[in-house]
Amino acid sequence: MSTSHDQGAALAGVPRPQHLLRLLHTAGKALPLEKELLLKVIRVHGHTFVSDWVDARSVVVDFGMNHGAFSTRMRRLFDCEVYGAEAHPVLCEQLPRDPHIHPYNVAIGGGPGTLRLSIYKQHCASVVFSQLEAEKAETVDVPSVSFGGFMEQAGIDHVDLLKCDIEGAEVAMLEAASDDELRRIGQVTIEFHDFLDANQREPVATITRRLEHLGFWHIDLSKNRMDVLFINQHWHPLSWSSKTHIAGVKYLRGARRIVGRRIGMQDLGDDGFRLA
């Protein structure tokens, strides 16, 4: 007959959820793998990229700055220059003041002109989605530029990291960008919005194929293309083992989320957890 002592001994080798979460967090860091596998894949405010290729000399572009959380975090982490676009006039005016963060009150789209921005009470403002709520708070017309137009306006000729979360307008932006403009980007961390609009699924698939043809490797680190990473392999050649390592990050995160929920912790979107 089993005793409580025997049961305790049987469970002694089973990691507690808290310990398992810590193991998952550090998994891969001590593996005796080739140097390429040690690429540091991080997530900043829900957007994943390889941080080895970002430093103080880098040009980072933040499309969809919102309250400036991504831009501010990138400045603190890498001391880099950040150029951003925020279409919402009030949000743009309220962005944190930093001499190395350069915000522009423009909407990113397919070209120069004016776009009508729908501003909601419960959702992010959008120039694409106009029926997310029965009652819109207001609409406002804002100037729009293409990706190439923004680069010209900001006075930059390349982008080491492009973060893009512009509520559906990413399709028009990427469709209008020339091959040469796209080749000037090292990494793209992007949130697609075809999960909100099924009509965007085929355009997103077409854009993905085009980027692959231009030499980008991509991976969806979410379940519905809310966190997609494109890496320009002409800038950053990737071996099969490096791609496998990056892909493994997705599944380690999934395991951490499951364990985190079990112990009442909340995913922050920054590869960290806090008590819910």
189-213 confidence digits (pLDDT tens): 999 987 777 788 999 999 999 999 9
Question: What is the overall mean pLDDT for the chain?
Answer: 82
Instruction: Write out the E strands in 130-204.
Output: 138-145, 159-164, 185-190
Phi, psi of 153 (to 5 degrees): -65, -40
pLDDT in tens, 47-76: 999 999 999 999 999 999 999 999 999 999
pLDDT in tens, 140-188: 889 999 999 999 999 999 999 999 999 788 999 999 999 999 999 999 9
- With contact defined as beta carbons under 8 Å apart, do 107 and 115 qualify? yes
Does residue 30 surpass a pLDDT of 70? Answer: no
Residues 23-50 as b/e (b if ≥16 CB within 10 A, e otherwise) read: ebbeeeeeeeeeeebebebebbbbbbbb
Both tokens assigned to 136? 């819109």
CA–CA distance, 223 with 87 (Å, rounded to integer): 27
The pLDDT value given to residue 6: 46
The pLDDT value given to residue 272: 56
CA–CA distance, 235 with 230 (Å, rounded to integer): 12
Residue 134 is which amino acid?
A
CA–CA distance, 81 with 215 (Å, rounded to integer): 26
CA–CA distance, 184 with 164 (Å, rounded to integer): 15
Q: Kindly report the CATH number that applies to the domain delimited by 18-27+36-105+147-275.
A: 3.40.50.150
Q: Which of 72, 242, 26, 162 is nearest to 154 (CA)?
A: 162
CA–CA distance, 239 with 203 (Å, rounded to integer): 29
